[in-house]
A and B are shown apart, each in its own frame.
Chain A
Amino acid sequence: EDQVTQSPEALRLQEGESSSLNCSYTVSGLRGLFWYRQDPGKGPEFLFTLYSAGEEKEKERLKATLTKKESFLHITAPKPEDSATYLCAVQMGAQKLVFGQGTRLTINP
């Protein structure tokens, strides 16, 4: 069965303390891997799309990387406003996205 697993479930960092979030997947025929940020009660906000192993994308303090079996979202020198739930999703042969359960990130000032 196609599966997406995110770790850790929750992460608490101090402002400026860099770290990485993991998204591992067991799917066949990966067409794309997507990262979203979601604030409580809001819709997921698109961050990155990765299509092939070795690909990297950057945006401000965030950098997403992709291998054949997992993706990492690296956050460098985070600020309190980076606190949110980060969702990973994969798209296989069908059009639907399969989401992981998310990593709840808290940045303390």
Chain B
Amino acid sequence: DSGVTQTPKHLITATGQRVTLRCSPRSGDLSVYWYQQSLDQGLQFLIQYYNGEERAKGNILERFSAQQFPDLHSELNLSSLELGDSALYFCASSVASLADTQYFGPGTRLTVL
């Protein structure tokens, strides 16, 4: 158990809908990262927050957004969902930022029908 929690574990929804994925980092960690893992793309970095502020952006679509709240939990919002958005979404956390080990949560499996 890494100490990172994610909810829900599974999510099934329809195209065009909007969903919110939630992540609670390990106690004491200030950075939260979101990754997408699909069969053909592997693990792709989406976005990072550090102590409430966006710190780095990766291959995140405009339909996706995220935020980190004062209690350091984070939410990833996915809107106008498409079939291709079906994937595993992982949250990771680290103490600070540069070169810190990132610990991953169990993931949320999103299925878009």
Binding site for B on A (CB under 8 A): 31-32, 34, 36, 41-46, 49, 51, 87, 89, 91, 94-102
Contacts and interface: CB of A to CB of B under 8 A. Distances in A.
B18 interface: no
Most buried by A among B43, B104, B106, B109: B43
Contacts of A41: 88, 107, 109
22 contacts: A32-B99, A34-B101, A41-B107, A43-B4, A43-B90, A43-B106, A44-B43, A44-B90, A46-B101, A46-B102, A87-B43, A89-B43, A91-B98, A91-B99, A94-B56, A95-B48, A95-B56, A96-B33, A97-B102, A98-B45, A99-B43, A102-B42
Contacts, number: 60
Interface size, B (range):
20 to 34
A32 B104 CA distance: 17
A99 B42 contact: yes
B45 A96 contact: yes
Contact of A43 (B50, B97, B101, B104): B104
A36 to B, nearest CB: 7
B48 A96 contact: yes
A71 B42 CA distance: 19
